[in-house]
A and B are shown apart, each in its own frame.
Chain A
């Protein structure tokens, strides 16, 4: 019995126990205030589903030895383009969502491939380079948003007839298609069934991939490139595959995020998307060299719940708007913590 508990404890890791304990404490405090605990948890579920795929996107890049994918905006942009095209033609509901996905995925494959060409040339500094690729792509796309040949008056600036607006609403097209699918309410707790199901599907696909021959090869390349070479594996091939998978997941993640959030934010909107995702997978117990699917799941649940629960609660207790500051401190502090430890993993 004791041994079993110890094993669970070691598998879970001390940092996650502390965070989970802290969360529990917050929920108890919340129950004592006028906040609705069920409402908070409903929000948390939505945010978990909304951000889950971004966090999942970190797994293939880490496992392929490329490290955390700070270039997540590359995929996010592809997702945005998919969503915009679907909106341009006023495609509604599931059809619009599917079209957006079908457009975003091939775009992400192409963009991911180009991104991997760069990543494979800067071995050892992928994360640093990725960060700046992400920033640059977002900045570069600002020009595109202004010039892009979209004609739907709902998308472009009312004056001038060209250039996309900063914030677009999905309310008329496919906002909430997943969230509302089979959703139900239990003791005031709204469950976004479709969103969670779609997230689960992605999780299963990624988990399944790492059970295949190619998935195992990718892991070996990431863990010991020299062993992989001695087993006849092409490092470039699997690193490329890892980057492409991560980019595609980011694109899918965006389309999912947008339908749940209900808005598309252009220009500098996607600038920081990588950071909460990175923080999420790290909180889940991953390191820069080792990330399992369970780390991604655990991480997004802990991190997003913490954000949704902690902020209103602290706002209740402390005067003034501290929530945004706290969010930035927690997420960036977590990234800093993880980057300074080379080992990490379950020992982190």
Chain B
């Protein structure tokens, strides 16, 4: 075998003491389509940031290991160096100028120019654009992709699928392109667009360009990949030719079993009562990046319903939609009563409460005190903590006493109820959010990503608190990106895929079943061909 285009050896990286990559090896041969798969947080993006010499890596202490391009060591200190070495990248978010034409975008900062009178006097910066040659190059690049669009169309009005192709056209227009990194390129494409896209990738690979393809769609992986590398928790699980894998095998390896939290081991197989508390029908939520495209779900009384799925598939849209934070439509009934959508006040008054995934943005008033943060929502939506009388003056004594009670109960580490919330650690901030939800005495509690960005100790305490609340009779809808966490405390786990319900599993279902649902495949579909 010839020298691989890209080889990454023994790559390790840690952010502020947290190891995110451990001795990862990756090797991509010439003209090879190499698929990189793994859950969110498995370390794929960090690996790509290292490859691209993104400043974030150098700013956080660099990395260990070696990167070889065509067998020669090459650690890039800036994306520019990586591009010069022939590495191209298409990001998940489009990096195109909407007001510019396709050609102008493709040739941006690499414009072809010819000299004129002024440039002879004042220098190269004033040369005329060679628009005809630029258009010809762009045309050639578009033709290689099988795209028929006009090269002078402004990018602004093009459908999303086309934007992806324009980005790729820009990369392949670079003469020295050897390796193209595609970060979840098909996530935004429709099925037919995705098919066309995969065909293009195969054609590119045949022309000798190596492709590193990051995706969550496992059937795509099986369809186009030559080799597959699986990452999990920053470690290399396995790497090998596609023939060694099946979809279910990848799914299983990807999810794996992680260390479990001890929050609730004993009552794992608690029977769920057959009484529907919350009935969700055809709920559509327009939350940017996490939209739901019509979901039917029943929540039973007294259960902890876990909501899982990969990032960007809409799992956090559910709670945000029902609580009226993002525009939504459909029908939600609570105990047979219609919950008016797009009306936060009404939802709160009906006894629903919400702990947002965006702790600092939505969950807290950072400049305010712990005490105020705990009582604000209850005061405003339920008229608690007010002195009697028409003035509705706040009852400072009651507020202080209540805050002290919860500081003790939840073990919030602080100097007192009047400390500003901004100065608390992430875990303690989360406890304040939960205290606020407890204070509302909700009947149904939505908790989204409560353990994101907090330390291990606080994590298990937060999960314990959720279980505690549940034992007091509160129905909990618990959204999390960490499957292990969902499995440790939920009674049932619903997996959301591309804005729709992929399926509901018990917490002790096999890893493979979870992996498949997250990739949009049901267990039966794969196992019984």
Name A's B-contacting residues (CB within 8 A). 208, 211-214, 216-217, 219-220, 223-224, 226-227, 229-233, 290
* Chain B window 342-381, contacts with chain A (Cβ cutoff 8 Å), 1 for yes, 0 for no: 0011111100001010100111111110001000110111
- Asked whether A211 lies within 8 Å of B393 as measured between CB atoms, the reply is yes
Q: Which residues of A contact B477 (CB under 8 A)?
A: none
Q: Which residues of A contact B377 (CB under 8 A)?
A: 230-232
- Asked whether B379 lies within 8 Å of A230 as measured between CB atoms, the reply is no
- Asked whether A216 lies within 8 Å of B394 as measured between CB atoms, the reply is yes
Confirm or deny: B383 has a beta carbon within 8 angstroms of a beta carbon on chain A: yes
- Asked whether A232 lies within 8 Å of B345 as measured between CB atoms, the reply is yes
- Asked whether B348 lies within 8 Å of A223 as measured between CB atoms, the reply is no
- Asked whether A217 lies within 8 Å of B380 as measured between CB atoms, the reply is yes
Confirm or deny: B386 has a beta carbon within 8 angstroms of a beta carbon on chain A: yes
Chain A, residue nearest B364 (CB) = A227
Confirm or deny: B311 has a beta carbon within 8 angstroms of a beta carbon on chain A: no
Chain B, residue nearest A289 (CB) = B367
- Asked whether A230 lies within 8 Å of B323 as measured between CB atoms, the reply is yes
- Asked whether A212 lies within 8 Å of B394 as measured between CB atoms, the reply is yes
What is the bound-complex CA distance between A40 and B484, given in angstroms? 73
- Could you tell me how many residues of chain B have their Cβ less than 8 Å away from some Cβ of chain A? 32
In chain B, positions 363-410 with a C-beta closer than 8 Å to chain A are: 363-368, 372, 376-377, 379-381, 383, 386, 391-394
What is the bound-complex CA distance between A230 and B365, given in angstroms? 11
- Asked whether B348 lies within 8 Å of A231 as measured between CB atoms, the reply is yes
In the complex, the 4 A-B pairs of residues with the closest C-beta atoms, listed nearest first? A232-B345, A213-B392, A232-B344, A231-B377
Q: Which residues of B contact A290 (CB under 8 A)?
A: 367
Chain A, residue nearest B347 (CB) = A232
Question: Given A223-B367, A223-B368, A290-B367, A231–B392 Cβ distance below 8 Å?
Answer: no
Instruction: Known pairs A224-B362, A232-B381, A233-B380; list 17 more (Cβ under 8 Å).
Output: A212-B391, A213-B380, A213-B383, A213-B393, A216-B372, A216-B379, A216-B394, A220-B368, A224-B364, A224-B367, A227-B364, A229-B325, A230-B344, A231-B348, A231-B376, A232-B346, A232-B380
- Asked whether A224 lies within 8 Å of B365 as measured between CB atoms, the reply is yes
Q: Which residues of B contact A230 (CB under 8 A)?
A: 323, 325, 344, 354, 356, 362-363, 377
- Asked whether B381 lies within 8 Å of A216 as measured between CB atoms, the reply is no
Chain B, residue nearest A345 (CB) = B367
- Asked whether B376 lies within 8 Å of A220 as measured between CB atoms, the reply is yes
Q: Which residues of B contact A224 (CB under 8 A)?
A: 361-362, 364-367
Task: State how many angstroms separate the Cβ of B324 from the closest Cβ of chain A.
Answer: 8
Task: State how many angstroms separate the Cβ of A16 from the closest Cβ of chain B.
Answer: 20
Q: Which residues of A contact B366 (CB under 8 A)?
A: 224
Chain A, residue nearest B344 (CB) = A232
What is the bound-complex CA distance between A230 and B383, given in angstroms? 16
Picked from A208, A211, A227, the residue with its CB within 8 Å of the CB of B365 is A227
Task: State how many angstroms separate the Cβ of A219 from the closest Cβ of chain B.
Answer: 8
Name B's A-contacting residues (CB within 8 A). 323-325, 344-349, 354, 356, 358, 361-368, 372, 376-377, 379-381, 383, 386, 391-394
- Asked whether B362 lies within 8 Å of A214 as measured between CB atoms, the reply is no
What is the bound-complex CA distance between A208 and B394, given in angstroms? 10
- Asked whether B344 lies within 8 Å of A211 as measured between CB atoms, the reply is no
What is the bound-complex CA distance between A220 and B364, given in angstroms? 10
Q: Which residues of B contact A219 (CB under 8 A)?
A: 368
What is the bound-complex CA distance between A290 and B372, given in angstroms? 16
What is the bound-complex CA distance between A208 and B349, given in angstroms? 27
What is the bound-complex CA distance between A219 and B348, given in angstroms? 20
Picked from B363, B379, B392, the residue with its CB within 8 Å of the CB of A227 is B363
**22 A-B residue pairs with CB within 8 Å:** A212-B391, A212-B392, A212-B394, A213-B380, A216-B379, A216-B380, A224-B364, A226-B362, A227-B364, A227-B365, A229-B325, A230-B323, A230-B325, A230-B362, A230-B363, A231-B344, A231-B377, A231-B381, A232-B344, A232-B347, A232-B380, A290-B367
Q: Which residues of B contact A220 (CB under 8 A)?
A: 365, 368, 376, 380
Task: State how many angstroms separate the Cβ of A192 from the closest Cβ of chain B.
Answer: 30
Task: State how many angstroms separate the Cβ of A341 from the closest Cβ of chain B.
Answer: 15
Q: Which residues of B contact A223 (CB under 8 A)?
A: 365, 367-368
Q: Which residues of A contact B345 (CB under 8 A)?
A: 232-233
What is the bound-complex CA distance between A212 and B394, given in angstroms? 6
Q: Which residues of B contact A227 (CB under 8 A)?
A: 362-365, 376
Q: Which residues of B contact A214 (CB under 8 A)?
A: 392
Q: Which residues of A contact B376 (CB under 8 A)?
A: 216, 220, 227, 231
Chain B, residue nearest A227 (CB) = B365
Q: Which residues of A contact B392 (CB under 8 A)?
A: 212-214
Q: Which residues of B contact A212 (CB under 8 A)?
A: 391-394
Q: Which residues of A contact B380 (CB under 8 A)?
A: 213, 216-217, 220, 231-233
Q: Which residues of A contact B368 (CB under 8 A)?
A: 219-220, 223
Q: Which residues of B contact A217 (CB under 8 A)?
A: 380
- Asked whether A213 lies within 8 Å of B344 as measured between CB atoms, the reply is no
Task: State how many angstroms separate the Cβ of B415 from the closest Cβ of chain A.
Answer: 12
Chain A, residue nearest B391 (CB) = A212
Q: Which residues of A contact B363 (CB under 8 A)?
A: 227, 230
Chain B, residue nearest A215 (CB) = B394
Q: Which residues of A contact B347 (CB under 8 A)?
A: 232
Q: Which residues of B contact A231 (CB under 8 A)?
A: 344, 348, 376-377, 380-381
Q: Which residues of A contact B356 (CB under 8 A)?
A: 230
Task: State how many angstroms separate the Cβ of B358 from the closest Cβ of chain A.
Answer: 8
Task: State how many angstroms separate the Cβ of B320 from the closest Cβ of chain A.
Answer: 9
Task: State how many angstroms separate the Cβ of A62 from the closest Cβ of chain B.
Answer: 13
**Which residue of B344, B354, B356, B364 has the most chain A CB atoms within 10 A of its CB atom?**
B344
What is the bound-complex CA distance between A301 and B381, given in angstroms? 39
What is the bound-complex CA distance between A233 and B393, given in angstroms? 18
Q: Which residues of B contact A213 (CB under 8 A)?
A: 379-380, 383, 386, 392-394
**Which residue of A214, A216, A217, A233 has the most chain B CB atoms within 10 A of its CB atom?**
A216
Q: Which residues of B contact A232 (CB under 8 A)?
A: 324, 344-349, 377, 380-381
Q: Which residues of A contact B361 (CB under 8 A)?
A: 224, 226
Q: Which residues of A contact B344 (CB under 8 A)?
A: 229-232
